[in-house]
Amino acid sequence: MDFPRNILALAQQTLALMGRVGATRVYTTPPVTALPGPGTISQPAAVRFTTPGWVLAMYGQESQQATPASYARTGVRVQIGGDQDLFIDGNGGPSYGSMLSLFGGVNNWFPLVRRVVQGDLWITTFRNNDPALAITPEVDFAFFADADLAQMAAGASAVGQFGS
């Protein structure tokens, strides 16, 4: 049986076509204190994965202003395991990706394919680059749990969808 590749490929294809993806769980960063002005950086917002699986996408929201301009001025940094940055600059150092460039001005998920195991820690920090406005950002991670994928595959095999 070609599993979990078929189910993961289907989720990735859906994301590419629709800008959204189904998930069996969504992990959300804890709330951060509003960042008052330019150059302010949030306290780390930790997400600890409680079960093994796959992160398939990430979505960011700046809820205080929620405009394309505020998205453009809100940066996000994601550290995997505390020592590996998801976004890096041209010199290989850590970087803050613009929420507008990552997620667009509408509800688009940024595609990822990252394996996680129980206990993996991803740390997210935010940077406000707006000269005048406070921001309140968050990030969500679309997640497929291994156990849920196994149940989906078993159900699909039972009806002959994937073969055996």
CATH of the domain at 85: 2.60.120.1050
How many domains are there within the chain?
1
Question: What is the percent of the chain with per-residue pLDDT over 90, rounded to a whole number?
Answer: 37
How many other C-beta atoms lie within 10 A of the C-beta of residue 63?
Answer: 12
Is residue 160 included in any domain, yes or no? no
Asked if residue 45 is part of any domain, the answer here is: yes
pLDDT tens figures, 18-62: 556 667 889 999 988 888 888 899 999 999 999 999 898 899 888
Read off the pLDDT band of 2 (50, 70, 90).
Answer: very low
Does residue 163 lie in a domain region? no
Q: What is the pLDDT of residue 20?
A: 60
Domain of residue 136: give its range: 5-155
Look at residue 164 and tell me if it is in a domain: no
Instruction: Indicate whether 162 belongs to any domain.
Output: no
